[in-house]
Amino acid sequence: MSLSAIRDSSELASFRVNFRQFLKDQVVPAHSAVFRSDGFPREVWRAAGAAGFLGLDVPRELGGRGIDDYRYSAVVAQEIVAAGLNGFAITLQNDIVIPYISAIANHEQRKRWLPALCAGESVSAIAMTEPEAGSDLARLSLTACKVNGGYRLNGEKFFISNGLTQNFLLLVARTAEGPMGLSLFIVEDAANAVGRTPVTKLGLRAQDTARLAFDDHFVPDGALLGSPGRAAGYLMRMLPKERLAIAVRADAGTRKSLMLTQDHVRTRQVRGSTLGSLQGIRFALADMMAELQANEALTALAVDRLNQGRLSEADAAAAKLRSSETFRAVTDRCLHLFGAHGYLAQSEISELFLDARGITLQGGSSEIMREIIASAARL
């Protein structure tokens, strides 16, 4: 069943309506207050947990909803974008951090961590990128040195979404030299022990982003996630789902950009005619709508493969590449069609334009996606 087909199912339709109402009641009122980029208040996260929108695929006995169907997560991403709430990083928690815990943590760790994540008591982030290394795993240098009873963390992480808000950090650290020297750790409730510096970005301004500094910070042995030295393999295993989530958001952003622009050209008068009556503009919009439909079909295919347990790295890379690059190109053209009105700060189309520029970099740049696709084809 395709992503578009499930929109007609009664279960998902009800879920969509409920989540849309939740955003209107709980998240929209807080949105203007968080343009200072210090994150959404913890009450919003707790409300999301109480309403059942966190940990969708986590078993009920661990606090989730037990929905083993990624299309529900896709609806969450679509509705957040449609409401103009890209800064609310619920998809980071649902689609990136929680899956690591579900797939890698041992039984005791899952019982300890998942209920708080599903309840919104724990707000999560993932810390992989570093100031000098970027996301190049071979160059990551934050160290975790083994000591009695745990590890000491030293180094920095950069571009960390939810970095100021989080109290549950999934961290990649070097425990030994070489490609097998990276390990995963969970850093909990370290607000006073970990240095946090806000990062000002071009787009996604309501999503807090931070630089994190660790100065001999201690974590216990129980903070190790999975086996030591296995982080690179875990990351490669989990990244396709993260990239698919980015593709879903990009498609939703493209659709919203086109809807805004269609409404604009239907009413905007130029020399006695509407912009939408001009053949060049009508054809340009037709081309963009056709591209969106093709991308949505590719993303829906990837969603189906994820649900079937056979989403490949190349599948996710193709969806992310096409959708994110289209989002960037479409918002550029749509902003131009708005004229000077589109250039106004905090207009809907200008916010989408700024967000689209960053989405081509998230989860790996477009160049990395092309390398993955070419390698899968043995080129």
Q: Which residues are catalytic?
A: 242
CB 207 within 8 A of CB 89: yes
End-to-end C-alpha distance for the chain, whole angstroms: 32
d(CA 56, CA 95): 9
Paired with 151 in beta bridges are: 146, 219
Amino acid at 374: A
Give the chain's length: 379
Q: DSSP assignment of 76-112, as one string? A: HHHHHHHTT-TT--HHHIIIIIHHHHHHHS-HHHHHH
The residue type found at 122 is S
**Whole-angstrom distance, CA of residue 306 vs CA of residue 70:** 7
Task: Name the residue type at position 352.
Answer: L
3-class state of residue 187 by DSSP? strand
Q: What are phi and psi of 166, to 5 degrees?
A: -60, 145
Phi, psi of 38 (to 5 degrees): -110, 15
Structural element, H or E, at residue 198: strand 195-198
Distance CA 331, CA 349 (A): 7
What is 143-171 written as a DSSP string? EEEEETTEEEEEEEEEEEETTTT-SEEEE
State CA 16 to chain mean position distance: 19
Q: Give CA separation, 16 vs 7, 23, 75, in Å.
A: 9, 11, 6
